[in-house]
């Protein structure tokens, strides 16, 4: 089947909102090359479970394509139209299984030496859309907070070396009640600007008491999901013929219901929670990896306005078979190693925040939990300097412009 043969009935199996979107734009979808169309359908078929920013991105892309005349559209997708696909791909059910189609397409592009041509086509397509889709500024300044070093009594090595060059390093912070001050401040932001999925509290252990205005996700709260998934993964790995690619495909198809999650209350968050463990490596096992990846995805996908990420001690490294066994015995923790992990994760947190619209006005702080070291970054904060000012965390946050 070719894209030109699409009808509204072809989307009958799509979730309700995604189906409505596809049907409304079926005329545009018919004009797209097969080398491109499944990439867009993969997003549309998941539309019901995406964050509002992601939905808006899909809608803007479809409306931008629909607004082009025939010549403009042909130029926009010209590179994809030149890609040659195999008969097996053309016969594949790319409408109902676009993600699986894309996996097979990747292998075909590699074997047929078309990866470079495909990459060039994708870059040209993105550039043309970027030229016509207006990027909107965030409704308020973004704020990122990284809290690292939980459980570390003392540390005599330099922290925040990468971040210090971007802001001011404080060595006399008053740490008392610090986490509570930060959570209360982020909650006030969330209540003042109640945008869905815009304000997050991510914890690598058990979440502290917090205002429900913050969307919260924690390593401890998702333990049943993690252990259940690890058990299923171990069984799948033991099956004859199960290799890395097959395991990846199997993971991509898992739903919240299959992992014992009731997604009826918040299907978007439920799907997101599953993706944290099925689309990443190490998040199922190490709390620092979980916190870092979740922060990255919250920024990339939800384009969050507020993210407070707290890192907790992860378990020590063990043989992979033990780690994947789903053993619920209390693991030995590694606070010092976790602090090193979290220090680098705080840097990545800031880097990922800087990739979003409005980055030049964003604010960021990183704090060594229960200690007097912190760094603050903001548009008016001096860079690469040190300060002995005695501030509490609320005052530091105000200084950063958060």
> Quick one: CATH architecture of 143-400?
3-Layer(aba) Sandwich (3.40)
Higher pLDDT pick, 232 / 59: 59
Q: Running DSSP on this structure, what letter comes out for residue 204?
A: S
Q: How many Cβ atoms sit within 10 Å of the Cβ of residue 182?
A: 24
Across the range 204-226, mean pLDDT stands at 95
How confident is the model at residue 86, as a pLDDT?
96
Number of H helices, E strands in the chain: 18, 10
- The predicted-structure confidence for 150-172, as pLDDT tens digits, reads as follows 999 999 888 999 999 999 999 99
Distance of alpha carbon 61 from alpha carbon 41, whole angstroms:
12
Average pLDDT, the chain: 93
Q: Which residue from 187, 178, 181 is spatially nearest to 214, judged by alpha carbons?
A: 187
Question: What is the pLDDT confidence band of residue 254, given thresholds at 50, 70 and 90?
Answer: confident
In the chain, where are the structural domains located? 3-132, 143-400
Q: How many Cβ atoms sit within 10 Å of the Cβ of residue 32?
A: 22
Across the range 375-380, mean pLDDT stands at 96
Higher pLDDT pick, 33 / 256: 33
| Tokens 């990545």 sit on residue | 348
| Tokens 């919240």 sit on residue | 256
Across the range 38-63, mean pLDDT stands at 97
Q: pTM for the whole thing?
A: 0.91
Question: What is the pLDDT confidence band of residue 274, given thresholds at 50, 70 and 90?
Answer: very high
Please tell me which of 133-137, 182-186, 256-260 the model is most confident about, judged by mean pLDDT: 182-186
How confident is the model at residue 17, as a pLDDT?
97
Q: Running DSSP on this structure, what letter comes out for residue 337?
A: H
Distance of alpha carbon 41 from alpha carbon 367, whole angstroms:
42
Q: What is the CA radius of gyration of the chain?
A: 23
Burial of 235 per CB tally in 10 Å (0-12, 13-18, 19+): exposed
Helix or strand (DSSP H, E) at 227: helix 223-237
Distance of alpha carbon 250 from alpha carbon 273, whole angstroms:
17
Distance of alpha carbon 48 from alpha carbon 16, whole angstroms:
7
How confident is the model at residue 318, as a pLDDT?
58
Across the range 299-320, mean pLDDT stands at 88
Both structure tokens of 140: 């308020």
Question: What is the pLDDT confidence band of residue 319, given thresholds at 50, 70 and 90?
Answer: low
Question: What is the pLDDT confidence band of residue 322, given thresholds at 50, 70 and 90?
Answer: low
Which residue(s) pair with 41 in the sheet? none
Distance of alpha carbon 106 from alpha carbon 104, whole angstroms:
5
Across the range 214-238, mean pLDDT stands at 90
How confident is the model at residue 256, as a pLDDT?
87
Both structure tokens of 287: 């709390």
| Tokens 């990255």 sit on residue | 296
How confident is the model at residue 232, as a pLDDT?
84
Higher pLDDT pick, 248 / 267: 267
Q: Which residue from 343, 351, 352, 353 is spatially nearest to 375, judged by alpha carbons?
A: 343
How confident is the model at residue 46, as a pLDDT?
96
Percent of the chain beyond pLDDT 90?
80
**CA 123 to chain CA mean position, Å:** 22
Across the range 324-344, mean pLDDT stands at 80
How confident is the model at residue 257, as a pLDDT?
86
Residue 263 has pLDDT above 90, yes or no: no
How confident is the model at residue 250, as a pLDDT?
80
Distance of alpha carbon 370 from alpha carbon 121, whole angstroms:
51
Instruction: Output b/e per residue, 85-115; b: 16+ Cβ within 10 A.
Output: beeebeebebbebbbbbeebbeebbeeeebe
Distance of alpha carbon 361 from alpha carbon 142, whole angstroms:
7
- Phi/psi of residue 113, nearest 5 degrees: 60, 40
Distance of alpha carbon 153 from alpha carbon 185, whole angstroms:
26
Q: Which residue from 181, 180, 161, 177 is spatially nearest to 169, judged by alpha carbons?
A: 161
| Tokens 């740490």 sit on residue | 175
């Amino acid at each position: 089947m070719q894209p030109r043969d699409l009808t509204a009935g072809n989307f009958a199996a799509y979730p309700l909102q995604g189906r409505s979107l596809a049907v409304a734009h079926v005329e545009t979808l018919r004009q797209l090359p097969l080398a491109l169309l499944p990439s867009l359908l993969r997003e549309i078929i998941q539309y019901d479970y995406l964050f509002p920013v992601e939905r808006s991105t899909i809608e803007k892309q479809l409306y931008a394509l629909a607004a082009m005349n025939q010549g403009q559209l042909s130029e926009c997708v010209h590179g994809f139209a030149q890609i040659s696909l195999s008969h097996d791909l053309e016969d594949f059910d790319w409408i109902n299984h676009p993600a699986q189609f894309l996996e097979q397409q990747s292998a075909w592009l590699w074997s047929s030496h078309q990866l470079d041509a495909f990459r060039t086509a994708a870059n040209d397509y993105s550039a043309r859309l970027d030229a016509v889709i207006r990027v909107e500024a965030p409704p308020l300044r973004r704020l990122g907070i990284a809290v690292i070093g939980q459980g570390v009594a003392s540390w005599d090595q330099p922290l925040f070396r990468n971040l210090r060059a971007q802001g001011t390093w404080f060595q006399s912070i008053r740490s008392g009640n610090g986490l509570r001050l930060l959570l209360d401040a982020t909650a006030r932001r969330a209540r003042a600007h109640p945008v869905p999925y815009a304000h997050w509290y991510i914890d690598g252990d058990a979440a502290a008491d917090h205002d429900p205005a913050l969307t919260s996700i924690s390593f401890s709260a998702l333990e049943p999901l993690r252990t259940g998934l690890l058990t299923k993964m171990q069984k799948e790995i033991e099956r004859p013929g199960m290799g890395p690619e097959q395991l990846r495909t199997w993971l991509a198809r898992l739903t919240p219901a299959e992992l014992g999650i009731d997604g009826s209350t918040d299907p978007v968050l439920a799907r997101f929670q599953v993706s944290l463990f099925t689309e990443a490596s190490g998040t199922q096992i190490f709390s620092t990896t979980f916190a870092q990846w979740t922060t990255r995805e919250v920024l990339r996908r939800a384009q969050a306005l507020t993210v407070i990420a707290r890192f907790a001690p992860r378990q020590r490294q063990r043989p992979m078979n033990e780690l994947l066994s789903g053993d619920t015995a209390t693991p030995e923790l590694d606070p010092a190693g976790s602090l090193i992990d979290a220090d680098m994760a705080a840097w990545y947190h800031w880097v990922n925040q800087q990739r979003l619209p409005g980055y030049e006005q964003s604010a960021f702080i990183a704090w060594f939990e229960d200690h007097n070291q912190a760094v603050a970054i903001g548009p008016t904060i001096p860079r690469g300097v040190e300060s002995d000012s005695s501030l509490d965390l609320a005052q530091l946050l105000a200084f950063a412009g958060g």
